[in-house]
Chain A
Amino acid sequence: MIRKALWLTATTTFAAVLTFSANAQERVVNVYNWSDYIDDSIIADFTKETGIKVVYDVFDSNEILETKLLAGGSGYDVVVPTANFLARQITAGVFQKLDKSKLPNLSNMWDVVSERTAKYDPGNEYSINYMWGTVGIGYNKKKVEEALGTDKVDTWETVFNPEKLAKLKDCGVYMLDSPTDMVPTVLKYLGLDTESTNPDDLAKVEETLLKVRPFIRKFHSSEYINALANGDICLAVGWSGDVFQARDRAAEAKQGVEVAYVVPQEGAEMWFDQMAIPADAKHVEEAHEFLNYIMKPEVIAKATNFVYFANGNKASQEFIEKDITSDPAIYPDEAMLAKLFTVSPYDPKSQRNITRLWTKVVTGQ
C-alpha cells in the first residue's frame, strides 16, 4: 500500500507540474486510471484526433482513489473506480450525471454488462463500463498437478474444502485480503445468498474460512501476482486481470512456470471498472469527449487486446483477437455468464461486521 502511495505521490507531482505548465488555452483532460490498464497509443490517438491533451495518471487501489475523491478537489476529470466503490461514492455526491447527448457511442454498449452495472449505478446515469472481470482461481499448473494429481482446477472445493486445500499447503496458497470479495464467494460456495449479511450465514462463512485458514500462507491483494509468476506459490484466489498479468510475466520469464486462471463451475463474483466524471471536474466537456472516444468499438477493442480484460462494449467484440473472445476465463460462455453474480455495497454496519469477521479469520483475533 505504501509502495503505491509513494508511487502515487511521485506521479501526482509529475502530473501537477505538467498541468501547470500547460497553456491556459489548451484543452486538457485529467484521467486517473488503474496502472497497466490501457494501450498508450489510444491516448496518443485521442489527442491527435481531438486536440485534447491527456494528463494520464495511475493508481492501483480503489481505497486510494476513494480517499482522494472523498477528500474533494482531486483535480481529475475522469476516474475509474470499481462498481461497488462507485455506488457508495455516488451516494456521497462525488460524481456528476453524464450528459448522454454527448455520448452517442453509448449505443455500442453490451446489455449483459450494463444490466448488471445498473445495480450499482441505477440507469447507468453516472458511469460507463471500461473493463470487467471475475474473482476466480489462479494456479501454477505444474505444482498443482504434483500436489493433486491433476492440473484441472474447476471448483471452489479446491479452496474451501480443508482436506483438498491441505494438499496445497506446502506449495503455497494466497487469498485476496478483501472481505467484500471473499465473503460473497464463500457464500456462493456454501449455496447461500451471496448478498446475505445475516449473522447466521456470516457465522457459517467464518467457520468455513477458519477451517481452511491453517493452509493459507498469506492474505494479500497484490503480492500474488509476483508470487504466481515466480512460481513461489501454487494457487491464489484473485482478480482475473491480475492473474493474467502473472501468466504473461511467467511466460516472458521463460522459467517453466505456467499460470492458469479458472472461473469455478459454481460461479464467481463479477467486478466492473467504471469510468465516471467527478462533480468538481474542471474539464467536463473534454471528459465527455474522452468517454465517447473510449466507447468506440475499435478503440476499446485495442485496449482489450492489450490488457486481456473483457470490456462492456458489444460492438467491439468483432475487433478483439479471437484467442481472447474464445477464452472462457476472459469471456465466459452464456451458461457461465448466467452463474456470475454481483454484490451490492454493504451499509456501514454490515461492512463493519464483515471487516471484523475478516480480521478474525486473518489474524485469529
Chain B
Amino acid sequence: MSNAVSALQGATYQGFVTVTEAGLIGMISIRGDLTSKPLLKALKALGLSVPAPRQIVTSKDLTLAWMSPDELLLICDHSAAAQLVQTLSSALEKTHALVCNVSDARALFRLKGAKPDQVIMKLSPADIATLPTGEMRRTRLAQVAAAVWRSAPDEISLICFRSVATYVQGLLETSARPGSELFETAPSSS
C-alpha cells in the first residue's frame, strides 16, 4: 500500500537527545506455549529462538522480544509483516496459538544521543539506569503503557500504542528540552 502512513510520519525533535518517530514498522504478536515444539520450530525457521524472560534478541532483519510468559513480539519490516503472519500462522496451525499483525496498532520512537536515559527517567518509574542491553522493559510513560529497550549504543527505542503517539511525542519533547538535563553525565548503575 503506497499511501500507508505511520502515526506521526517520522516526526522528529532535536532536544538534548534526538526524538524520532521511526515511521512504519512491522510488529507481530505471538501468543502460545513458549516451550511448544511447533513454536520453537517456526521460530527456528526464521533464525530465532525464544528469548529468556524480558529479553529482546535480534537476528538479521528480525527482532524478537519476550512480552509475558505466553507472549512474544516479533519486530520486522512493515512490508514483511503480513507474509510473516501467514507463515507463522500456518506453522502453528495444529497447535493452540494466536498470531496477529499489530504493526499499525503501535508507534515506535527512537531516542538518540548521549543521555536518552534522562528522558525516560522523567517519565517512567522503571529503574532505567540498570536496564541492560538486550532487555525490554514494559513500563509506562506518564499516563500510557510503553516498552523500552537499548537498541544501539546511545539509543533507546520505545513502543507505545498508535492512538497516543502524539501524546508520547509531546512527553518526549517536553522531557528532552535543552537545559532540563538531570545530570551532566549519565548516573552509574553500579
Do the two shown chains form a genuine complex with each other?
no
Could you tell me which B residues sit within 8 Å of A by CB distance?
A: none
Could you tell me which A residues sit within 8 Å of B by CB distance?
A: none
